[in-house]
Amino acid sequence: MNLRGAAALKYFARPDPASAGALIYGGDAMRVALRRQELIANLAGPQAEEEMRLTRLSGAEAKADPTAVLDALKAVGFFPGLRVVFVDGVTEAQAAPILTALDGWAPGDAALVVTAGALKKTSKLRKAFEAHGKAVAVGLYDDPPTPEEIDAAIAAEDLRLTDAARRDIEALARSLDPGDFRQTLTKIALYSGGEEVTPEAVALMAPATMDAGMDDVILAAAEGQAARIGPLMQRLEGQGVAPVTLVIFATRHFQQLHAAATGTAQPWGPNREAMARQARAWGTPRLEQALALLMDTDLTLRSASRAPQMAVMERALIRLAMMART
């Protein structure tokens, strides 16, 4: 069975104990790991490893011993409760023992949880789990988290949020990778101590995205203040800031502006009011041009070009500032 969206979230939160197991795959290893962790905890409980009801294997180990996965599924544990066999990082080249184990699964055996990277539609692993009557396949993609996923993460930390804080949390969810987002929510929960969370608390606990110097020069470019860019760049160069680092943070800034302009997310952090104003002033078409310019700059900085990298980055920021004025 192939699960997506709300159906996948429901399965992770309340998996069928009679299930043969699941294949969780996707290009974002952290996203896959978090869902795998959630599924195993909800299948076998938090004490599964201590009670020896969780068997861990790598894809390489499964290939080296083709019967290991099936033997683990059939093994009888010393402690009562559902058992899980977890095989991590399986590739198509290591699929054979997984397919054999899935084909040999029977009611009463352990649940089989398999993780993999990005898999094509023609993948043998995908086809086997999708076609199995008691197993599921879930593909995780780099799309922004859904409102349901954000609500589930908030509920897991038992957070109470003001409306403004919720908007900032939603913006954080769309700008951080899943692991950082979950860690940030945990920090906010510890900091709040059960009290209602405010935007100030979110800003305080959010990961630092850039130092003040980078913040200043990127804001100057977005505000059209071309004259400020040269002196700020000299200071950053003296501090040893790498041009590639600067283009990464500039791109993130303009991605947030683009998301705000298109209505898919709201800016967050101490500069959110300025960024909301910038998003309105730039508009979607010009922000797309700005992102294209930054992408070209990033490619130039990472290429074999002999152009002075800080000069390339400074020119890009000045061009952005000139675009902001038009």
C-alpha span between 144 and 252 (Å, rounded)? 14
Residues of the chain with CATH 1.20.272.10: 212-325
Q: What are phi and psi of 203, to 5 degrees?
A: -65, -35
Asked if 2 and 130 touch (Cβ cutoff 8 Å), the reply is yes
pLDDT score, position 212: 52
Residues of the chain with CATH 1.10.8: 147-205
pLDDT score, position 267: 74
Tokens of 71: 């033997």
pLDDT score, position 124: 95
Residue 213 neighbours by CB under 8 Å, 6+ apart: 232, 235, 236, 239, 241
pLDDT score, position 142: 65
Considering the domain 147-205 in this protein, what is its CATH number?
1.10.8
Q: Which one, of 140, 208, 199, lies nearest residue 175 by Cα?
A: 208
Q: Taking all residues of the chain, what is their mean pLDDT, rounded to a whole number?
A: 87
CATH class of the domain at 2-140: alpha beta
Asked if 284 and 262 touch (Cβ cutoff 8 Å), the reply is yes
Asked if 200 and 296 touch (Cβ cutoff 8 Å), the reply is no
pTM of the model: 0.54
Token pair 């002075």: residue:
308
Output the tens digit of pLDDT for each of the chain's 326 residues.
899 878 888 899 899 999 999 999 988 777 888 889 899 999 998 888 888 899 999 999 999 999 999 999 999 878 888 999 999 989 999 999 999 999 999 999 999 999 999 898 899 999 999 999 999 999 987 666 778 888 888 998 999 999 888 888 887 787 677 777 888 898 898 888 889 998 888 877 876 544 556 888 999 999 999 999 998 898 888 877 888 888 888 988 898 898 888 887 777 667 778 888 999 999 999 999 999 999 889 888 877 777 788 999 999 999 999 999 87
C-alpha span between 256 and 239 (Å, rounded)? 26
Express each pLDDT in 213-258 by its tens digit. Answer: 688 899 999 999 999 999 889 888 887 788 888 888 898 889 889 8
Side by side, the strands of the sheet bearing 84-90 are 2-3, 135-140, 21-26, 111-116, 84-90, 54-58
Identify residue 77 by its one-letter amino acid code: G
Tokens of 120: 């094509």
Q: For the chain, what is the radius of gyration of the CA atoms?
A: 24
Strand, helix or coil at 309?
Answer: helix
Residues of the chain with CATH 3.40.50.300: 2-140
193: left (phi over 0), alpha (psi -120 to 50) or beta: left
Q: Which fold has domain 212-325?
A: Zinc Finger, Delta Prime; domain 3 (1.20.272)
